Amino acid sequence: MQQMKNLRIKILMTALTLSAIFWGCDSLIYDDLEDCPQGVYVKFFSMTPCAVDSTFIGEASSLTVFAFDEEGKLVTSVSKQNVTLNRDFEVLVPVSNGNFSFIAWTGVNENFTRSTFSSGITTKKDVMLAIKSSEGRAASLGNTERIWQGESPTVFLPDPEKSGSLYKHTKINLRELTNRVKVIVEFDATITELKPQDLAVAVSSANGTINIDGSMPYNSPVIYYPQQNTVYTDNSVTWNFSMLELVTGYHNNLTINYPKTGQQVFNGDLIGSILMNTINGGINLNCENDFTIKFVLKDYCAECGTNFSCAIYVNNWLVHSYSTDL
């Protein structure tokens, strides 16, 4: 009988020991819960306002997740390289006791200068990055390069002294902050005096600096984006550009001219005059990142060879027609 009693005591003591080891932070018998770990698991998806379902970015060269407290001050950050942002991928951010929001950036590479970040000092409105440039000319972004940014809803974690170990989950909708612009000038058969090789193009914007929260400061200098490649045919020329996000009010300009005389086919605001001016309202900058802008030139004064009409299309939507002198 005494042996049975001793055996029961040993079993009870073993169980209590294991409980302290494996479930200490959640156990009622564990008094000091202050050091119990907490955190938030963050997942990532992408869904524009025009989409009916979410998608996943897939492979990304880099990922940084910032955690900010309720005052908008940086608490901590987690960075990873060469990740695959699919349905199952998630990042654990170690935070505890408070309200937190999380901002993620993906795709930032050697073409950008990143700011330095300090816990308790850095805010969401501080600069995240600036595209590298030399003499006003931006670094060349490849057509496959994408920059994404997004922010989570607020997540609350209670005091670990009262609640012990706790992990929560949230998601971030990543929004692309890069654009591809293809500019095409097509000559009608009536034009015989000009050749596609006679034209030159320039795309510029003051969008080269972006804050952590995805906004842009208003004091950034205007930079010119280089052409990715140029393709000529007998009656057309195509220029391809890759750039940071086009945002209204940041001096986004497109110029197409005839260098031999200095005369212009077009010189105007890339957003106000073209992208947001389609006749049937077919373009939504919040939903599209790739734009094909097509100029069709037609000679309506064949005997003088200097007066032309120009029709402009964006992603096959007519913007307007106007006359020009070359």
State the CATH number of the domain containing residue 169: 2.60.40.2100
Structural domain includes residue 224: yes
Cα 300–Cα 304–Cα 308 angle in degrees, nearest 5 = 35
pLDDT-derived band at 32 (thresholds 50, 70, 90) equals low
Are residue 153 and residue 208 in the same domain, yes or no?
no
Is 123 within a domain?
Answer: no
Q: Domains in the chain: how many in total?
A: 2
pLDDT for 276 equals 73
Task: Point out the domain boundary residue: 176, 198, 223.
Answer: 176
Do 161 and 242 have their domain in common? no
**Would residue 139 count as lying in a domain?**
no
Residue scoring higher pLDDT (32 or 214)? 214
Whether 208 and 313 share a structural domain: yes
Residue 247, CB-side half-sphere exposure with 13 Å CA sphere? 17
Residues 151 and 224 grouped into a single domain: no
Does residue 118 belong to any structural domain of this protein? no
In this structure, the number of other CB atoms found within 10 A of the CB of residue 161 comes to: 13
Do both 184 and 321 map to the same domain? yes
Whether residue 248 is contained in a domain is answered as yes
CB-count burial class (<10 Å; 0-12, 13-18, 19+) for 19? middle
CA 319 remoteness from chain centre = 27
Query: What CATH code is carried by the domain that includes residue 287?
Result: 2.60.40.2090
> For 130-146, how does the pLDDT look when each residue is reduced to its tens digit (9 = 90+)?
999 999 999 999 888 99
Whether 221 and 317 share a structural domain: yes
The one-character DSSP state at 122 is -
On whether both 155 and 225 belong to a single domain, the answer is: no
Instruction: Answer yes or no: do 195 and 217 share one domain.
Output: yes
Residues 244 and 265 in one domain: yes
What DSSP assignment string belongs to 200-243? EEEEEES--EEETTS---TTPPPEEEPEEEEEE-SSEEEEEEEE
Same domain, 309 and 211: yes
Residue 77 lies in a domain: yes
pLDDT above 90: percentage of residues in the chain: 66
Domain limits for position 40? 31-107+146-176
14 assigned to some structural domain: no
Considering the domain boundaries, does residue 11 fall inside one?
no
Residues 163 and 241 in one domain: no
User: Mind listing the pLDDT tens digit for each residue in 167-225?
Assistant: 999 999 999 999 999 999 999 888 877 889 999 999 999 999 999 999 999 989 999 99
Answer yes or no: do 188 and 162 share one domain. Answer: no
